[in-house]
Amino acid sequence: MQQRDKLFINGKWVAPHGTGQIDVIHSTTEAVMGRIPEGHARDAEDAIQAARAAFDAWSATPPAVRAGYIRKIADGLKERSEELAQLIAGEVGMPIKLARAIQVGGPVYNWAQAAKLVENFTFEEEVGNSLVVREPVGVVAAITPWNYPLNQITLKVAPALAAGCTVVLKPSEVAPLNAFVLAEVIEAAGLPPGVFNLVTGYGPVVGETLASHAEVDMVSFTGSTRAGKRVSELGAQSVKRVALELGGKSASVILDDADLPAAVKGTISACFLNSGQTCSAHTRMLVPRGRYEEAKAIAKQVADAFTVGDPLQETSRLGPLISAAQRERVTSYIQRGLNEGAELVTGGPEAPEGLEKGFFVKPTVLGNVDPKATVAQEEIFGPVLSIICYDTEEDAVRIANDSIYGLGGGVWSGDEARAIRVARRIRTGQVDINGGPFNMQAPFGGYKQSGNGREAGKYGLEEFLEYKALQLKKPAA
């Protein structure tokens, strides 16, 4: 068991102001796998003051020097890759092969990418008689979720540091142990004191202090739409910049000329990744009404091939959910879907056979789901796919857009030009065309209640920069 009793503030491991501790529960064994400090509002304030004091010097550090530190951090994480993969597989439940590639490989890539980006970024340009410069926004509070814990931290902290900002990180208390490894790597890289600070604890205490504090210039938050609204309210009091990456209810639109087996398989893979605990998961599969029976049969076959089991076993394709509360939430949604008239294609609310321990849920497909049903409208965050029938292309676009969310989605067609035409009409931040792979250099973020702002690539770096115009007096002709 990992016992963490200190916070990382101003370049040092310090004892928290309070004595509370938070248990970290192993998603497969349900045993306590670690303990972390329950941070106090005063700990958050100390971290903010350290970040504020460090800002002037760090923001004036040349981009190439900042890039050097960031590259060291990428290398340090790479050296501890297997340790991190095992840790996150325990915390979150993602199968170990995927944890190595996504939960750790993604952050290593994105730290290195941030170093490369800042070395080549254009920080100033002449526009008429103005010199337009890009400057760091200031002290950034990064509040991150549990589903892709280290990568969501990375997509905020790496570009913020690259931009010249100083950071206070509050990771999710549900999957926080990886953040302590990152802090150790940052310490070993020699980052100046106060540039990066780690405070763990609960959202209503540490998170609200960070979001409301006048010395914080920007909050970057990833989590539920409900919590994102609260962060926005608190941030508005001091008119700070707020970037939000929130929920999703993404639609995969399978057009009538699509390769149906490939489309169904691709949709289910995009739905079940990380046991469905992905904000951009394709949880609504829209199929032509005349091909419903065919799509349903394929979906059952594909879903049933997702072996549920211990994420540390190489044969497991679907691990547990993060917590008992999440398991209860997901199974309740499955039951509600059935109560509201959905057809059970496969899965169901009962626990998988032989898996009494661990927060496991059967991979579930619900058929003939009404577009207005609860399971078609609300984010479930589990391995649950809703099949929705449509009659025309126009109908499909209307159903896809009939959501408070707009984060991800997909369009499948035998004609790529047609797929792109339909994708342009879907109000969402990303759309995969015929299963196009995730691109870590493309902007990621949402429309509507999926949030605002973008992460990843140069777009993620730009989030942490302000514009300043210097009006120059040109010599008289």
Catalytic residues: 245, 279
DSSP at 34 = E
Edge to edge, the sheet with strand 465-471 lists 124-127, 130-136, 465-471
Q: Nearest CA to 69 among 135, 118, 9?
A: 118
Rounded CA-CA distance 110/260 in Å is 34
Rounded CA-CA distance 243/140 in Å is 11
Q: What residue has token string 């931290």?
A: 153
H or E stretch at 227: helix 225-236
Beta bridge partners of 251: 284, 409
What's at 403, amino acid-wise? S
Pairing relationship of beta strands 12-14 and 250-254 according to DSSP bridges:
unpaired
The beta strand positions in 6-164, using DSSP E, are: 7-9, 12-14, 21-25, 32-37, 124-127, 130-136, 139-143
Structure tokens at 412: 């499948």
Q: What residue has token string 């491991």?
A: 13
DSSP string, 301-355: HHHHTS-B--TTSTT-SB---S-HHHHHHHHHHHHHHHHTT-EEEE--SSPPTT-
Distance set, CA 304 to CA 59, 90, 268, 298, 342 (Å): 53, 24, 11, 10, 18
Beta bridge partners of 218: 140, 241
Q: What residue has token string 């050296």?
A: 79
Rounded CA-CA distance 17/41 in Å is 9
* Chain centroid, CA 243 distance in Å: 13
Residues 6+ apart with CB under 8 A from 182: 73, 77, 150, 153, 157, 198
Pairing relationship of beta strands 130-136 and 124-127 according to DSSP bridges:
antiparallel
DSSP three-state, residue 163: helix
CB atoms within 10 A of CB 160: 30
Q: Nearest CA to 375 among 332, 404, 407?
A: 332
